[in-house]
Structure 1
Amino acid sequence: MNVPLTDIKVLDLSRIYAAPFGSMILGDLGADVIRIESPEGTDSMRDWAPFVDNESTYYFTANRNKRSVTLDLKTNEGKEIFLKLVEKADVVLENFKTGTLDRFGIGYKDLEKVNPAIILCSVTGYGQTGPYREEPGFDPVIQAIGGLMDITGKRDDEPTRVGVPVVDMFSSLYVAVSILAAIRQRDQGGEGQHIDISLLDVQMSSLANIASIYLMRNEVTTRIGNQHNSVVPYQVFQCSDRPMMIAVGNDAQFFKLCDLLHHPEWKSDERYQTNGARVANREDMTEKIQEIFITKSADEWFELLSSYGIPSGPVNNVEQAFNHPQVQAREMVQEISHPTLGKVRLVRNPIRFSKTPLTIHKHPPLLGEHTDIFLQEELGLSLQDIERLRSEGVI
């Protein structure tokens, strides 16, 4: 069975995380994703600790289902080879600083000349326009500039970045979605085009209700820890053994919680009867609930809350999360073979197709692992040609 994108070829010049995670999604969906790297290696994520036998665990998170080809785009012959590859490609993905591809002579206008149907997706910190367009952009910096850090953390503590690179990940989702949309438009009789993805744009679009509160009410939301700015109770409570998150999203669920906690009188108390009243009396409300939650374990509370239809869950560490029965039932971990590490375990793509299931069919590639066979198959180069290019530092 073919997965959806088996006829799509992606030349992936991107590095680190924001764009490679997006091309990995395309690879999961069946696209032939070819990482184009310098012979010296241009992806510093290969060098990020921790390692397993000199292989970066960080690199493994964004580079499955791809091939790796080395090519020095700064050389004339390297550029010529790349443009020949573009002739047969559908997509070029890159996340160099704004203007870098133009300086190399492989910007969108150059690519369009050799393949009018080509789709170029450029991912930068601040986009192709604006006063910050040439500034480097990294996830934690964008979290800071884009307002995310200021609303994350406890009220009296310092602003806190999210524990994983969420701006990079959100941007990668937009990379995949925008490329698929551009392919769809092109296949309906349109043309190729240049996609401009900015990490800061993505972060601003991801402020969700926080943005809406500001834009519609001119209110600046402050960080409030694990509580919700406008819903109570919607936060972490400490149980006898570990923390527990509950999300009481409406008054009906709150009335169920009152019954569960054996406080039916709260349902008619003006201080708690509506969500607005509970927000106004947040400290009093949460203090009373906390006194009760500390009397049982998180698992005990989960069983009770679940029986009442109230969303909740213990705060798990990573090991507990992977051992969660639902995670295991969904088979979110897949074991694959790797040329130097033997068997490795990776997190699967969360998309579930009923007729074309997705799998991890290629390990995260070693640097230049597929160079020789790729150049032979794509450009018909002989082994002698390949050895000459290697000796000259082109590949």
Structure 2
Amino acid sequence: MGAPNLAGLKVVEISAFIAAPLGGMALGQLGADVVRIDQTGGGLDLQRWPVTESGESLYWQGLNKAKRSVFLDLRTLEGQRLAQDLIVDAGIVLTNRPAQGWLSYQELRRRRPDLIMLSIRGTHDNRTAVDYTVQARTGLPFITGAGESDVPVNHPLPLWDSLCGMTAAFGLLAAEHRRRETGAGQLVELSLEDVALWLIGSLGYIAEIEVLDRERRAIGNDVYGAFGRDFATADGKRVMVTVVTARQWTGLCAATELGEAFRHLEKALRGDFTTDADRWRCRGAIAALLEPWFAGRTLDEVREVFDANRVLWGPYQTLRELVASDPACSEANPMFARVRHPGVGTYLTPGSPLQFAEAGPTAVRPSPTPGADTCAVLAERLGLSSDALEALLPKGAVERKALA
């Protein structure tokens, strides 16, 4: 097994919430040495739900795997100086704090001209935003849900924060590649709202308004522009079926033995069900033929015949069912391992979804105890002796328990 792909890359992260911590975690899981710096006592997200009965945040643990945690009193000049020293040593900093004062790019690059800083902000014009306020502005909540009312429905997954975090990791690697080629650092700015607008623009939503003068409506679980929707089985389960190729349509016809009925329907509706356009146009009539077929079969019966005919489908299941019985969410999947996390115990933990043939499987590393790496990082990165660390105590930059 080779060394981790990002071994030797040093990153300082000063962040909160989802996007920046997720980006730092993605780098750490690929072997980068990511040091997260928080205000002494913990940052804004240290107690964010879900939390255990003892107050440990599973949210914080989930987003800070494969990192080291340092607590500094960033309200003091000495704490700010130490944070700057760590940034200068690493040469790369990821943050969603306002990049100003002691954390400004101009201030830091005076000490390290080839510094790379990626700064995440809410909007391109520097207004505050979070995933849920960005969701509201995109218009997508009005086409989410069953379309039975005009009430917007937000997605429960913080998609824009998540995509922003991965874009941040990608951006840092792009800047680091340029630095290796040219020797030059740079400031990289990333707007959470721009990430959302980039994706909806890339998927045709904006062009659909401007070119076709057409606005989408909420369509429930139907797949826009193709055939796909959910069906109820005889044992009270639900499945999602999707057809996006002619071969998948052939497989669905063979599995349900409804090919002849669909040919009659095609003729009656003057359609060609081998095309996405006509499957979409006639989706209601197609579903009406399929509903009784599903209603007369259990989930296991559907699974057997669909898998045999390579139908594109999936069963609906709850989160509890996913964790309890789905092999994909288990140690049968090499992404997962049961890892002991400080203050909580051992639970199923994902590593990186990227699997590199040469480097071998990425190790699944736990989250740190908040602040527990302060002494080790200051000694290793800055070369501070025990006496030098002790001398920091009267200056208020670190707590004595951090030096224990």
TM-score by length of 2: 0.89
Q: Secondary structure at the match of 1:46?
A: coil
Whether 2:139 is the aligned partner of 1:139: answer: no
Deviation of 1:159 (Å): 2.2
Other-structure match for 1:106:
103
Other-structure match for 1:65:
66
Whole-Å separation in 2 of the counterparts to 1:278 and 1:66: 49
Other-structure match for 1:324:
326
Q: Secondary structure at the match of 1:86?
A: helix
Determine if contact 1:51/1:57 at 8 Å carries over to the other structure: yes
Q: Structure 1 46/390 Cα, relative in aligned 2: closer, same or farther at 3 Å?
A: farther
Whole-Å separation in 1 of the counterparts to 2:66 and 2:334: 18
Q: Secondary structure at the match of 2:69?
A: strand
Whether 2:229 is the aligned partner of 1:235: answer: yes
Whole-Å separation in 2 of the counterparts to 1:348 and 1:28: 6
Determine if contact 2:35/2:67 at 8 Å carries over to the other structure: yes
CA RMSD for the aligned pairs? 2.1
Q: How do 1:1-395 residues align onto structure 2 when only pairs under 5 Å count?
A: 1-51=2-52, 53-96=54-97, 100-102=98-100, 104-127=101-124, 130=125, 133=126, 135-157=127-149, 158-207=151-200, 208-232=203-227, 234-240=228-234, 241-265=236-260, 266-267=262-263, 269-270=266-267, 271=269, 272-274=271-273, 275-322=276-323, 323-328=325-330, 329-360=332-363, 362-395=365-398
Which deviates further from its counterpart, 137-146 or 317-326?
A: 317-326
Whole-Å separation in 1 of the counterparts to 2:16 and 2:361: 24
List gaps (5 residues or longer) in structure 1: none
Deviation of 1:206 (Å): 2.1
Q: Secondary structure at the match of 1:88?
A: helix
Whole-Å separation in 2 of the counterparts to 1:256 and 1:339: 49
Identity of aligned residues (%): 28
Deviation of 1:248 (Å): 0.8
Determine if contact 2:122/2:192 at 8 Å carries over to the other structure: yes
Whole-Å separation in 2 of the counterparts to 1:339 and 1:385: 28
Q: Structure 1 50/252 Cα, relative in aligned 2: closer, same or farther at 3 Å?
A: same
Q: Secondary structure at the match of 1:219?
A: coil
Determine if contact 1:255/1:267 at 8 Å carries over to the other structure: no
1:107-144 deviation digits (Å, cap 9, x = unpaired): 111121111211101112213xx2xx1x3211111111
Deviation of 1:358 (Å): 4.2
Determine if contact 1:336/1:360 at 8 Å carries over to the other structure: no
Determine if contact 2:239/2:316 at 8 Å carries over to the other structure: yes
1:10-32 deviation digits (Å, cap 9, x = unpaired): 11001111110110010001111
Deviation of 1:2 (Å): 1.2
Which deviates further from its counterpart, 109-118 or 24-33?
A: 109-118
